[in-house]
Amino acid sequence: MPISEFSRITVLNNKEQLFDMFEKLLKIIPVFIFVTLSCSQTEESKPYDLMVSEGFKNPVGFYDANPTFSWKLPLSENVKSQSAFQIVVASDPELLPDNADLLNTGKVASSQSVNILYSGKPLSSRNIVHWQVMCWDHNGNPMEWSEVEHFELGLLNQDDWEAEWIRTPDPEKWDTTRFGTPLFRPQYLRNEFNTDAHIQKARLYVTARGVFHAFINGVKIGDDVLPPGWTPYQKRVETITYDVKEALQTGENAIGIILAEGWYAGRIGPQRRWDTLTAPPWAICQLEIEYANGMRQTIVTDKNWKGTTNGPIRSSGIYDGEVYDAHFEIPQWSYPGYDDGQWQQVKTHKLEELPQLLPKRHFTMRNKKELIPVAITKPTQAIALFDLGQNMVGVPRIRVPLKKGDTLIMRTGEMTNKDGSLYTGNLRGAPSTNYYIASRDGVVNWEPSFTYHGFRYVEMSGFNENAEPDKSWLTGIVQYTDFDQIGHFSTSHKKLNQLQSNILWGLKGNFIDVPIDCPQRAERLGWTGDAQVFAPTSLFLADVNAFWTAWLQSMREEQFPNGGLPVVVPNATGNFAQAGWSDAATIIPWQVYMYTGNTRVLEENFAMMQRWLDYHASQAENYISHMSTVGDWLQPYSNQPDERRGDTPHAIISTAFYGYSVQLTMKVAGVLGFKEDSVKLRELFNSICLAYENEFFDANGRIKEPYIETQTGYLLSIGLGLLSDTMTQKAIPHLVNQIKLAGNHLRTGFLGTPLLANVLDKSGHIDLLFEILFNETYPSWFYSINQGATTMWERWDGYTHDRGFARNQLSFNHYAYGAIGQWMYERIAGISPMEPGYKKIRIAPLPGGPLTFAKGEYDSPYGKIKSHWELQGNEFNLYITIPRNTTAQVVIPFMGNKHIVVDDKNITDQKDIEIISIDDNYMTIEIIPGRYNFISK
């Protein structure tokens, strides 16, 4: 019985119904109790939440033959930290723990419980690996062995593949009615094979240059959305592995693939619009079956497959939407016995050295949530407009009554015009329209397969005018990369909570296998500048370690021979680099390391970072960079001819990011133990800083002529550490003056805004900072909320109630300005990492503005961190939880009496609390794991 049946009020008409309900309830309650007790006993007595590499739990088709191991310590109050561990790894779970044949570390004296590198026997493709861990607590007492976990490697080498690439032959004439480019019609590919009884294991390894869905015996395999995702296809295509044992049957079987354009062959980006005449989609798969008697069988894509493009999906494109004509449905096409005599023999292509086929190294996209309409309006009698109440990314799912021959048209959009009609003016060349053509009378259940849209509204037309549109006709299927939310934030302020919601929905809507800038218009590209400013916020909110490390691999593959890096990854705009954007190559690896403790992200990207610095140097003269830059994108009130690029001088931006990238690469060299590199980079950084200060600042800390003073100019200089301590103190008043000249409002774009809160906070201008944060007028975070925003907008004034839509750059789902989230979590909630991966935690909440309470929670690699504060009269109450195997530094603000107690006792009487410092405003202490309640009076 679904749990949801107990969550609604039911009117019971007779005793039989009543007894039936109680009988079902009694059946399920013991299960709940058993699960609850089992989970609590496991987490109390042994290590739990075991993961490999970047957060994978029992993966199939795993990419990493040299994984790292991580776990969390038991939740027992008796366990504070770890003094030692032992990892055992085996090819068979029956060998664990005593007879591990791949690795037995023995007892290792270490407090490390995350990112322990595998050091056992070499692993290879298809290996199924089982592992356990045992720990000793801070007193040297052993814990119980963890549960046995596992991972299974995919096909790691090109020579593991026996299959060939396949596709349907070219048509006699291409349809060029779509934007003047050839239209590629989705392919239906199939083959049949026989199996014996007693199948023990079956794996389908599959991918495409394009996007695909796979089927066996009529059953769709997996629930991935737009697999395999988007990579630099000329270098690497990611493969997906499915366990298909249950889909197979003894005797005759059929396997099928639907193959569509996706990012590879469709219209993507302003320049790289693939010509389907020369780059049509291809599919490749390899089904490997193992029998109980040891026999093996392999079915591959080859010349024995057949294909057709005469199926019901008539067209499907990322920008365009999908056309589905039910008259062309092919019943039973992926079942055995289907007559494919009219289908064509496929065209084949041998697998070559490039592109490499490698297992996908982060999570695929999935259907993550369903939204139901909150309202329906009818701008005209023939049109119904459905409002989902939330700007989202995904596809519409319909359940609409249609007559045979009806063409239901579904247009999507983020906003409405003043007359109530659908607004599509910001979509540029993206129709974002779906068509369903009915072949019979009845209720149609359908959703697009190979496209996605950014939308809040769905306009339907073409339905029977005698039918009254109903909310059940539409469901919004929210789609994004399959990560879990691990960070939470809420406060006493309704609009600040709405800002948090907008940030979160911006994250969901733009993590579409890669970090895109916007999900709705004919762009949707992996802009590096947007990504680098938002990465820290995303790393708090979601488990995106694997997401970022995978995207960084694409960045390495796209690096130019001269060391430059494209402004979008995968590259779809051309061979040019831009300061502040391409610097994502140094910024994101460091941020991932700080949030996760993952040193391998530094190891993998250090060479790329060095080559990027070489390119920076080639664009500089006497350490002042002249690299081109997108600028401080969409700074309000810009006076430049291209107002989108902001007023901040490009030389300031380019040189500031040159210095910042050198500084970060220097830190990486230090972490990796490259002392010589670190020393050289320190010298280079000092030289850049000296040249920067001399070139751009006068003796009074003011940006000197001919350079223009801007908020962002000062924020980059101070926030990125380009100025000496003395010059920083001189520059801060000039920054504050620029803010006052703007009426205590921000005048910053994509590059300056992420630094604003942190610089004002550290310089002591807390009241000014909270005033800016809580401003309601333009430009401000709340301004767009006041105009109805449910996601972050590209422009602060993309739409206003009085003036309507702005002229250009109108994405209503653009996460860059959501970078303020990092400061909200680290300073309002007060949770930040003092050491990589939160091994040491800083709890430093900052009450201010109209706030009376704030709550933050973060599921760190070591466990949950909680910080919750409340103002109650003249008392400041702080409730915190520090996970096992960590320590924390806590900064508590004084109230009137400057007296602090913890758990109703004087703080000076607590032996596990060390007072680090006391000044006029704060007490700083260090604590061990546990739960605490501090009261500052």
CA 761 – CA 757 distance, rounded (Å): 6
Active-site residue flag, 523: yes
CA 779 – CA 474 distance, rounded (Å): 35
End-to-end C-alpha distance for the chain, whole angstroms: 52
Nearest-10 crossing angle of helices 545-558, 584-596: 160
* Contact residues for 841 (Cβ-Cβ < 8 A; gap 6+): 831, 832, 833, 834, 860, 865, 882, 886, 887, 888, 889
- On whether the CB atoms of residues 410 and 416 are closer than 8 A, the answer is no
Of 164, 322, 693, 794, which residue is the catalytic one?
794
Main-chain dihedrals φ then ψ at residue 33, nearest 5 degrees:
-65, -45
Of 149, 164, 261, 523, which residue is the catalytic one?
523
Query: What secondary structure letter does DSSP report for 827?
Result: I
CA 800 – CA 319 distance, rounded (Å): 27
CA 852 – CA 857 distance, rounded (Å): 18
- Six-digit token string for 404: 């045979």
- Residue type at position 148: V
> Hey, CA dihedral for 107, 110, 113, 118, is it positive or negative?
negative
Main-chain dihedrals φ then ψ at residue 936, nearest 5 degrees:
-105, 120
Q: Between the CA of residue 643 and those of 336, 445, 573, 637, 809, what are the distances in Å? A: 61, 47, 21, 8, 11
CA 169 – CA 346 distance, rounded (Å): 6
- On whether the CB atoms of residues 929 and 80 are closer than 8 A, the answer is yes
Residue 686: CB atoms within 10 A of its CB come to 13
Helix (H) or strand (E) holding 635: none
CA 75 – CA 39 distance, rounded (Å): 11
CA 868 – CA 831 distance, rounded (Å): 10
How, if at all, do strands 347-349 and 181-183 pair? unpaired
CA 271 – CA 422 distance, rounded (Å): 29
> Hey, CA dihedral for 650, 653, 656, 659, is it positive or negative?
negative
* Contact residues for 501 (Cβ-Cβ < 8 A; gap 6+): 790
Q: Report the b/e string of 412-432 with b at 16+ CB within 10 A.
A: bbbbbeeeebbbbebbeebbb
Active-site residue flag, 94: no
Identify the residue whose tokens are 């040297």. Answer: 140
Positions annotated as catalytic residues are 523, 794
